[in-house]
Structure 1
């Protein structure tokens, strides 16, 4: 029971914020209408049970007048005026259609809000970066946002409304069944409304057995979501790194890796199939017995002449409704296991995001204090495993100064670059950075999805810049042949070579004109001549910009005033 309480608390942690959000009144109104329509369907089912009794009684009595009236008009009966089936069916269809339509509208609104909320949290305080660095067990965030949130909203509404409808159906038809079944004497004991107790016992036994048979599905469904996402991620990785794999001739190794991941998918799926087979054996048998069981229970009264054919069918129908309502857990066991797995995945993801955001103030502090200088104060940089890369580094870079950061591969230069950007959480110390006007160009230039115009202007809004300004910086960066393709939507990071992508980054720097420009091997894919033109262009076009470069080629030093070298875990001055 405690585990159930924790799980329901987790589910409410995910669901609750929407119902308290700025959309709460519209959401609650929409939910209220959906609930009202679902309750109306229960009422229609009760009405149909009485109509069904009168209809079968008319058949038993061979009363053609009553038969046709009950189909197409209305008839006065012992239960009151009974509308014709065509009116009841038309109203039932109308209510059912709008109950589904408005529920789907609520699903769309809820999913939209929840997706925006999770995205905001994930992107705030660069939590997405820290979660990826720490490998906190939160695998495949793309799936958790795109798939798990959708499944959570859909299943929560479907299961919640289904449970509510089952409860209302139970109470509605218990009254009907109680009145129809009458008392029964067993071993000298008179049991009033005996069919209600029979339906209750049947459902309780079925629920307990269903849980025993199918409980392994909870773990297996959780695992299936993970292995499916792992396999899909591996396929995306292969697509994004197709050229590197082809150059290495790594197809055989990639196939082995994909086969291993797909093997995990199939292995877990077989386990689900076996568990589902056992559960389906039980639930199918349970459902089949439930069809005939009420007739068996009510047959003695029918053969004794105490109830007519219509009464028998109404009794059977009411019993089925009560038994079905009580068997909601059995009928929805598979969906409940999927829902539980989804809740656990989303709760884990949100928990990892909150931990990452809470830790944003720890470690190395990048302080945008509005000063003109870049200052490092006793900065120690560690790897996630605790190994120290740079210890107690202190430095000061003045506005307009160009400084080269050098050192052997693996010495920590790129990690220092991340610390200057305020990204690296592992270590301690403070980095005082200017509040505005910073641009970081990593070795692998980032080109967002969409048009080339967006890629050049990133991360600013492309609408801020004229076509002439964008054309001019592309020409200056040696990409004049692409100016006619500014508004083409392509996967530019695959279409352009590494050197061309770095030229796009150069064009971006010329367009945005930052006060501070940080480059981490940003010219590594260019030949020495192009690299030289790159730096000359930066010096000419951005004369007042402070420049901090990480580079290996000695020729780059001539474009900097001085150098800092990472040597034996320390940051020391060196000649440029």
Structure 2
């Protein structure tokens, strides 16, 4: 069993390779259970049957070699011609079984990867865990890279490993029988005595394989760690390049490309060092693999030569035992031949396990000091002495309290950086750190309209109606009401709308989408900042008319918002902590006091 130590920068408590393998098996073994079990077992058993049949075909080819070369040695023309006539049939069978193995193997790999990818992607995207994981200190590096690439590296080789192990086991059983049968015992004269070694070719094959495997294990024990470090470096380089693409506009406008280039260079320099360390380790392994590869075809010939020269073994027998010896070595040295792939698989499986474990931890019970989110008995939105903290326990905003009835509109103003984002995330159920109680109307749907809505690539229909339950006329009407009439004819066109639409149009589209979601609590976070104030107020009035009973929070500095709201609060910093106050400066710490002040 391979044994790796921790990669640079990773804690000493890394699970062992065996633990990684068992964890990965538990994570991905569900493919052979449940709804996909029929498909999984069909392709698995088909592949296993193909492998078993292929080994029997190889044994048949081996026996054909003995038949053919014995006929040549005896100058038996009839037998040689018969053997030559049979060989094309064997060739067709070998080619056919190879095609069957290829199709069944790759089909099983694709279906298994599809299942594992869907499980991890659903776990990462579902319940907004991608965001919640990012808020925590527990997010593994590059989760999207782990889902897209590490799943492939962890599933595809494992199918090949299973094929190799099954084939190796059957090959050892079948070809050792040939070595035993044809090789027999070897008698070595020692002075006046003779020493007889029974099944000497079998013993030689086993001894040779064990010796080479031990050398590979000792010399290559550091390779899994180096592979894991290299993969981590590759992920960091990709992230650095993606960061430049995602922030291309501010980098270009600020002429900050020189700094980004230096950062990419540092990342690649680190990656190059990891690659070089791995190359040096592989170089040491190559001494053994190449040396063994050169010796394996020669060793059986040297071992069989005494019996051939003494007439105890025919030429066909020599050819058979040589081929059988090589086949047994290949089977015994399966770990040797796949050492690099096993190391890469362990590194990929470890990264997949880390993501799955992190997603599991997100769903664990919240910390002792956490916000309490409950249902309001009177259909109001209430904050009762809420204090928001960061993950380290430092206060961001303290003693936030207010109570809003159905249909109310609260204008919440204040400078940036005063914990407003944390408040929005807390109301949306995403911010766990803090104290106090948040009460929402029973079964309330909370919708946040951010400053810049992310528009996934696809059609406007899927952007506006994520459940795809509304008729096209309803979606076109919503676009027209929010000033996007030209887009009504493009509902089903697949484009990168995030790049095609200007900021103002994206904000209009976000408001239309918010109306179609039919929210009970609506949080508008600078969601009309790119629009003129009169236009913004008209659109907010349109949204309010569509959802008259919804509770709306307007967050922003626009002066017109004050006239559009029925309630007003200001977030101000006092003593290093953000607190809420009425516009006149009076304290707003208790729900009752705030409600009286707001009215």
Q: Under a length normalisation based on structure 2, what TM-score does the superposition of the two structures give?
A: 0.88
Partner residue in 2 for 1:177 = 179
The aligned counterpart of 2:97 is 95
Aligned Cα root-mean-square deviation (Å) = 2.2
| 1:250 equivalent in alignment to 2:252 | no
The yes-or-no answer on 1:33 pairing with 2:51 is no
Asked whether 1:374 is paired with 2:387, we answer no
Shift of 1:573: 4.1
1:532 equivalent in structure 2: 537
2:478 corresponds in structure 1 to 473
Q: 2:363 aligns with which of 357, 360, 367?
A: 357
1:79 aligns with none
Q: Which runs of 5+ in 1 are unaligned?
A: 73-83
Using the alignment, how far apart are the partners of 1:88 and 1:371 within structure 2? Answer: 82
Q: Give matches, 1:395-474, under 5 Å.
A: 395-434=402-441, 435-457=443-465, 459-461=466-468, 463-467=469-473, 469-474=474-479
Q: Aligned residue for 1:8?
A: 21
Q: Distance in 2 between matches of 1:105 and 1:345?
A: 24
Query: What's the CA shift for 1:166?
Result: 0.4
**1:218 maps to 2:224:** yes
**For the Cα contact (< 8 Å) 1:376–1:431, is it kept in 2?**
yes
Deviation at 1:173, TM superposition (A): 1.0
Instruction: Tell me by how many angstroms 1:245 deviates.
Output: 1.7
Contact 1:371 1:433 (C-alpha < 8 Å) held by counterparts: no
Indicate if the aligned counterparts of 1:110 and 1:153 stay in contact, CA closer than 8 A: yes
SS of the equivalent of 2:30 reads helix
* CA displacement, residues 324-368 of structure 1 (integer Å, 9 cap, x when unaligned): 111111111001101111111111111101001114687324345
In 2, Cα distance between equivalents of 1:95 and 1:294: 28
Taking the TM superposition and a 5 Å limit, the aligned residue runs for 1:103-122 are: 103-122=105-124
Q: Describe the shift of the 1:209–1:264 C-alpha distance in structure 2 as closer, same or farther (beyond 3 A).
A: same
- Please say if residues 459 and 492 of structure 2, whose CA atoms lie closer than 8 Å, have aligned partners that are also in contact: yes
Distance 1:190 1:428 in 2: 84
- Structure-2 separation of matches of 1:341 and 1:313: 41
Query: What's 2:589 paired with?
Result: none
Deviation string 1:460-503 (CA, Å, 9 cap, x unpaired) is: 42x51323x33333233233333333333222212222222112
Structure 1 residue 397: Cα displacement? 1.3
- How far apart are residue 214 of structure 1 and its match? 2.2
Q: Deviations over 1:165-184 (max 9, x none)?
A: 10111111111111222223
Aligned: 1:161 with 2:163: yes
Q: How far off is 1:540 after superposition?
A: 4.2
| Residue in structure 1 matching 2:236, options 204, 226, 230 | 230
Alignment equivalent of 2:491, drawn from 477, 486, 490? 486
**Partner SS for 1:404:** strand
2:266 to 260, 263, 266: 260
Deviations 1:153-195 (A, max 9, x none): 2111101110111011111111111122222346654321111
The match for 1:127 among 126, 129, 135 is: 129
CA distance in 2, matches of 1:570, 1:245: 32
Contact 1:389 1:412 (C-alpha < 8 Å) held by counterparts: yes
Assess, with a 3 A threshold, how the Cα gap between structure 1 residues 25 and 483 changes in structure 2: closer, same or farther. Answer: closer
Deviation string 1:52-99 (CA, Å, 9 cap, x unpaired) is: 101111111222211111121xxxxxxxxxxx1122222222222112
Q: Secondary structure at the match of 2:386?
A: strand
Asked if 1:316 is matched to 2:334, the reply is no
Tell me if 1:148 matches 2:147. Answer: no
Are residues 1:389 and 2:402 paired? no
> Structure 2: where are the runs of 5+ without partners?
4-15, 584-597
- Whether contact under 8 Å (2:419, 2:578) holds in the other structure is no
Equivalent residue pairs, number: 562
C-alpha distance in structure 1 between counterparts of 2:34 and 2:279, whole Å = 40
| 2: CA distance, partners of 1:495 / 1:217 | 47
SS at match of 1:423: coil
Aligned partner of 2:59 among 24, 42, 46: 46
> How far 1:518 sits from its partner (Å)?
0.9
The offset of 1:42, in angstroms, is 0.8
Contact 1:372 1:399 (8 Å CA) reproduced: yes
Contact 2:388 2:398 (C-alpha < 8 Å) held by counterparts: yes
Provide the residue aligned with 1:498 in structure 2.
503
Structure 1 residue 55 and structure 2 residue 76: aligned? no
Task: Report deviation, 1:27.
Answer: 1.7
Residues 186-226 of structure 1: CA deviation (Å, up to 9, x unaligned):
66543211111111111111111112222222112212222
Contact 1:114 1:149 in 2 (8 A): yes
Quickly say closer, same or farther: Cα 1:428–1:164, change in 2 above 3 A.
farther
Give, in angstroms, the shift of residue 547 of structure 1: 0.8
Q: Secondary structure at the match of 1:554?
A: coil
Work out the CA distance in 2 between the residues paired with 1:60 and 1:368: 92
Paired position in structure 2 for 1:69 = 82
Structure 1 stretches of 4+ with a deviation exceeding 6 A read: none
